[in-house]
Amino acid sequence: MPPESSHSRFTPSHPTRLARAVVAVLTAALVATLGGVGGGAPAALGAGSGASSPWLAATDTDGPTILDATVRFFGRGYGHGVGMSQHGARGRALAGQDAATILAHYYEGANLRTIDPATGIRVRILWKWVASPAGPLLVVGRGAPWTIEGIAGSFPKAAALRVIPTTTATPAGPRTTWQIEVAARDGAVLHVGPKPADLVVRGATSRGRLQLASKATSNNRYRGSLRIMTSSNTSKVKVVNTLPLESYLRGVVPAEMPSSWPTAALEAQAVAARSYAARRLRPGASYFDVTDTTSSQVYLGARAERTTTDAVIRSTAGVVLKSGGAIANTLFHSTGGGATEDNENVYTSSAGAKVAGPVSYLRGSSDRDPDGNPYDASAPYATWTTNLYSRDQLSGWFSADPRTAVGALTALDLRNRGVSGRLISVNLIGSLGTKVVSGEVFRSVFNAGRPSGDPLLRSTLLATEPIP
């Protein structure tokens, strides 16, 4: 991992003053970097920078690629390629760019704004977990006494809550009732009773953490409250962690980007992660806002928190990116491979048809320095290759999925590419005809078919020859 960068230029202060100060500092940096920011309005990131990343193909520009008896794929990057490249941000920070300049490149035209740092978020941290009388849901209070909403008093730290189902047969089908039991560390029973309709557990002080012991990971301690949801016709349990957005970010930023990376990259990640989450707040429309996995962004709770990322989150408190009046959809990915992609070329139908309109701040562009070197050149998957496979092996893997089954595979048409060179669609040509699928379907079918442990197709920026 890279050494720590110099001390952040942001100075913690009162949250409201701090938010204004961060916007002012970022805006000033943009003026110096990009020029032409007028008045007191937040700067437009990347205005006029444009997107230019022609892909230099050596093998598939004239027509379909006729497959040799053996085939190997070559590629660049890791992830979908839209928005911020995390390894690209690291490379830009090491090259001396500040967070404003990094954000300006990856989210062209977005504006720096602020939201209330006290904004809350609901994170689904457990879903479809099956409880039983012998294996009830288990929550343990850590660090401080804790409470159950609607039940008088508090319970001592290290006391454990068990949520226990009992299923009985009825003429209408199985019915599940739920009971809760709280026991002290020494086993003394402190409370027994029916589960409240709305079961919410929270620490009695700010020192309190709630350990969701039933979640099979060491990163299962949380700030805020846990809402435990059950039903009368199943023994499955859902758990949602509710906490301030800024506290949530403390478990996100170091999970998404190593805390030892340069400060400017971490600042850019904090703003992107905050914006991504804030855009997805939906009170009244669902029981949760985001998940704790890559289906949203990774959240590992209180045990993931690090001093460096905590400082970055405090220093950028409340700062988000907006486009017009809406918070920007600040997508990000691991490694761009030297270029990022237009959103509509990545999020397509399974047949590669464009189904989304262009998003102004999610334009693909070159991610290389003035000498042509990719900013993510040191990333583990800046470039990659697969093993060498026979045409017969590839034919078998693609025939196993009806979307790509064309019999004996003879050629691939890899010419439909986006501005970064990522495949929008692939035309598979074989003994039984042709089929067109999206670049992502092609990638996923290959990855599912390859022998376990063999290298993956890490992105859709791939070809049958090395990519410049």
In the predicted structure, residue 27 carries a pLDDT above the cut 60: no
Give CA separation, 153 vs 149, 178, 213, 262, in Å: 10, 22, 23, 46
- Centre a 10 Å sphere on the Cβ of residue 456 and count the other Cβ atoms it contains: 15
Task: Describe the crossing of helices 86-94 and 263-279 by its angle, rounded to 10 degrees.
Answer: 150
- For the stretch 95-130, pLDDT in tens is 999 999 999 999 999 999 999 999 999 999 999 999
In the predicted structure, residue 276 carries a pLDDT above the cut 70: yes
- For the stretch 146-172, pLDDT in tens is 999 999 999 999 999 999 999 998 888
- For the stretch 287-327, pLDDT in tens is 999 999 999 999 999 999 999 999 999 999 999 999 999 99
**Look-up: residue for tokens 């001390």?**
7
User: Mean pLDDT for the chain?
Assistant: 89
- Dihedral angle over CA of 432, 434, 435, 439, nearest 10: 120
Which tokens sit at 227?
Answer: 């809402």
Which tokens sit at 110?
Answer: 């977005």
Rounded CA-CA distance 244/120 in Å is 4
> Which has the closest alpha carbon to 348: 400, 426, 270, 401?
426
- For the stretch 123-133, pLDDT in tens is 999 999 999 99
Q: What is the DSSP string of 351-404?
A: T--B-SPPPTT----B-B-TTS-BTTTTSTTSEEE---EEHHHHHHHHHTSTTT
In the predicted structure, residue 377 carries a pLDDT above the cut 90: yes
Task: Tell me what the mean pLDDT of segment 41-59 comes to.
Answer: 40
In the predicted structure, residue 43 carries a pLDDT above the cut 80: no
- In angstroms and rounded to an integer, the radius of gyration of the C-alpha atoms of the chain is 25
Q: What is the DSSP string of 184-241?
A: -TTS-EEEEEEPPSSEEEEESSTT-EEEETTSSSS--EESSEEEEE--SS--EEEEEE
Are 258 and 306 in contact, with CB atoms under 8 Å apart?
no
**Look-up: residue for tokens 């400082």?**
311
At residue 284 the predicted structure's pLDDT band, cuts being 50, 70 and 90, is: confident
Task: Tell me what the mean pLDDT of segment 434-462 comes to.
Answer: 98
- Centre a 10 Å sphere on the Cβ of residue 17 and count the other Cβ atoms it contains: 9
Give CA separation, 279 vs 245, 252, 293, 304, 329, in Å: 12, 15, 17, 23, 7
Can you give the pLDDT at residue 69? 97
Which tokens sit at 391?
Answer: 């045409």
Can you give the pLDDT at residue 61? 60
Rounded CA-CA distance 313/292 in Å is 18
- Centre a 10 Å sphere on the Cβ of residue 312 and count the other Cβ atoms it contains: 28
In the predicted structure, residue 286 carries a pLDDT above the cut 50: yes
Can you give the pLDDT at residue 7? 29
Burial-class residue 47 by CB neighbours within 10 Å (0-12, 13-18, 19+). Answer: middle
Can you give the pLDDT at residue 52? 41
Domain boundaries along the sequence of the chain: 65-82+342-355+363-463, 132-234
Are 67 and 410 in contact, with CB atoms under 8 Å apart?
yes
Can you give the pLDDT at residue 58? 39
**Look-up: residue for tokens 């048809």?**
353
At residue 26 the predicted structure's pLDDT band, cuts being 50, 70 and 90, is: low
54 compared with 286, residue with greater pLDDT:
286
Rounded CA-CA distance 74/387 in Å is 10
432 compared with 55, residue with greater pLDDT:
432
Are 285 and 234 in contact, with CB atoms under 8 Å apart?
no
- For the stretch 391-403, pLDDT in tens is 999 999 999 999 9
In the predicted structure, residue 1 carries a pLDDT above the cut 80: no
Can you give the pLDDT at residue 411? 98
Q: Where is average pLDDT lowest: 52-61, 177-186, 220-229, 405-414?
A: 52-61
6 compared with 59, residue with greater pLDDT:
59
Burial-class residue 316 by CB neighbours within 10 Å (0-12, 13-18, 19+). Answer: buried
- For the stretch 206-241, pLDDT in tens is 999 999 999 999 999 999 999 999 999 999 999 999
Q: What percent of the chain has pLDDT over 90?
A: 85
Rounded CA-CA distance 23/29 in Å is 10
Can you give the pLDDT at residue 16? 41
Task: Tell me what the mean pLDDT of segment 177-181 comes to.
Answer: 97
Give CA separation, 294 vs 86, 209, 297, 333, in Å: 14, 24, 5, 10
